[in-house]
Amino acid sequence: MPVHDLFNDAEYVLEVSTPGLDRKFFYLDQLKNYIGEKFLVKFKRPLDGALNLVFSS
């Protein structure tokens, strides 16, 4: 089946994940790619009444 036929009439959500907040950076150059980026944190239990918070680095 061609890839372009997989999602023609389907609703879907694309979720992109990272290794997590505990991910270690080994080189300073790895950090510069993320400066100024926004990121979303999802909580299992509400924090100050919110399950999702957006932060900026």
In this predicted model, what pLDDT tens digit does every residue of 21-51 receive, in sequence order? 777 888 888 888 888 888 888 888 887 888 8
Whole-angstrom distance, CA of residue 11 vs CA of residue 7: 8
Residue given tokens 């299992």 in the structure block: 44
Q: What does the pLDDT look like over 14-26, one tens digit per residue?
A: 677 777 777 788 8
How high is the pLDDT of residue 5? 60
Residue given tokens 């990121």 in the structure block: 39
Q: Which residues contact 45 (CB under 8 A, 6 or more apart)?
A: 51
Count how many domains the chain has.
1
Whole-angstrom distance, CA of residue 34 vs CA of residue 18: 13
Residue given tokens 């510069």 in the structure block: 32
Which residue range forms the structural domain that includes residue 29?
A: 3-56
